Amino acid sequence: MRLASCAAVAMLLWAAGANAGDTQAVLARARQHIETADYRATGKLVTVDGAGKRTSYTLKIEARWFPGELRALVEIDPPSQPAAHAKADRVRLLLEMRPAGQTSIRIAHPDHKGLTVLPFERWSEPLFGGVFSYEDLLESQYYWQNQAVLKSAKFGARDCDVLKSTPGAADRTHYAEVETWLDHTIGYPVYAEKTLRDSGAVKEFTYYGLRQTAGVWSASQVEGRLRGHAGSTLFIIERGSAKANLSAGDFSPEQISHFEDRP
Task: Give the model confidence (pLDDT) of 165-219 as tens digits.
Answer: 999 998 999 999 999 999 999 999 999 999 999 999 999 999 999 988 877 888 9
Residue 2 pLDDT class (50, 70, 90 cuts)? very low
Strands 11-13 and 146-155: antiparallel
pLDDT for the residue 65: 96
Which of 21-25, 99-103, 251-255 is the most confident on average? 251-255
Q: Which residues contact 78 (CB under 8 A, 6 or more apart)?
A: 57, 85, 86, 89, 90, 128
| Whole-number pLDDT of residue 78 | 87
pLDDT of residue 163: 97
Query: What pLDDT digit, counting tens, does each position of 132-161 carry?
Result: 999 999 889 999 999 999 999 899 899 999
The domain locations on the chain are 11-256
For residues 9-13, average pLDDT: 22
Structure confidence at residue 82 (pLDDT): 56
Mind listing the pLDDT tens digit for each residue in 65-106? 999 999 999 999 988 765 544 444 789 999 999 877 688 999
- Domain covering 11-256 in this structure, CATH number: 2.50.20.10
Average pLDDT over the chain reads 86
CB-based burial of residue 2 (10 Å sphere; 0-12 exposed, 13-18 middle, 19+ buried)?
Answer: buried
